Amino acid sequence: MKDLYAWSAIGIIVLASTTGDVLLSYSMKRVGDVGELWKRRGILAVIGRVLATPTFALGLMAMGVAFYSLLFGLSWGNLSLVVPASASLTFVANAVAARIFLRERVGRRRWIAALLVAGGVVLMAV
Amino acid sequence: MTFRKYLVLAGITVFSTAGDSLLARGMKDLGGFSLHNLSGLLLAILNPWVALGILFLLTFFACYMSALSWADLTYVLPATSLAYVLVALIGHFRLHEEISPTRWAGIALIAAGVGFVAAGPSFTPARECPNSPSAPRDTVSLEVKS
């Protein structure tokens, strides 16, 4: 039963942090290259443009949900299960979501990388 | 990809690692927290290790957002995973912690994954943007796309 709780927490963490990453990435693509913007208009223009992007706040909220579900997950499951499982599944989920929602060209090269990193994160935690 | 952009990617790895370690160091001073002791959680900011850790994590977030403004999510994410490797290597060389063969294998896998992504293009715009830098051609991803 405790396992079921831990795995549902992991599921929520993966879902929330993937949503957050996709929303933040989408917002920053809308803002455009912040280095260029900083050079032309100054740092205040950069901060203003980022905060004025509605999806940025949504992304931050999703990241907050992910953080608190991690805290709950840690109280239900082991550190050595919850952290590596959610981190590695998030890498794979992000590759899928970036392809679908951000229309990134996730080629063979990036699939292999996502799987290698996901596997590596699991091994580092064993 | 310019030198400045590689610096930002390095900043993601370094500042998240340093921020996490500083927070962990500060929390060790303060002891455990419970739901009955929420005021203690607010006072934790007064601890210099925790304050510095939060500052570093904010810097990490700024680097992360900057990188996402000119590179794909699937390009930036593997760079964040290098933090795991950095923590392990710092533990090994500075604190003389033992690294098991499984962990070395994990380090190798993450490094290989990062290498795979870094060799490819950093930005693959969905539509043709007039002001986008001409994306370097990647035969593998073009082949998969078609």
Q: How far apart are CA B95 and CA B90, in angstroms?
A: 7
Give CA angle at B113 (B108, B118), nearest 5°: 125
Q: Is the complex ipTM more than 0.90?
A: no
Q: Return the structure tokens found at A22.
A: 């996709």
Q: Which residues of A touch B (CB under 8 A)?
A: 21-22, 24-25, 28-29, 31-35, 50, 91, 94-95, 98-99, 102-110, 112-117, 119-126
Under DSSP, the state recorded for B131 is T
Domain locations in chain B as residue ranges: 3-123
Please name the helix (run of DSSP H) or strand (run of DSSP E) that holds residue A105, with its range, or none: none
- pTM: predicted TM-score of the whole model, two decimal places: 0.82
Q: Taking CB atoms and an 8 Å limit, are B109 and A109 in contact across chains?
A: no
Q: Are B140 and A108 in contact (CB under 8 A)?
A: yes
pLDDT tens, residue order, chain B (146 aa): 788 899 999 999 999 989 888 887 887 777 665 556 667 667 778 889 989 999 999 999 999 999 999 999 999 998 888 888 888 888 788 777 788 999 999 999 999 999 888 888 888 876 544 444 444 444 444 444 43
DSSP string across B29-80 = HH----GGGHHHHHHGGGSHHHHHHHHHHHHHHHHHHHHHHHS-HHHHHHHH
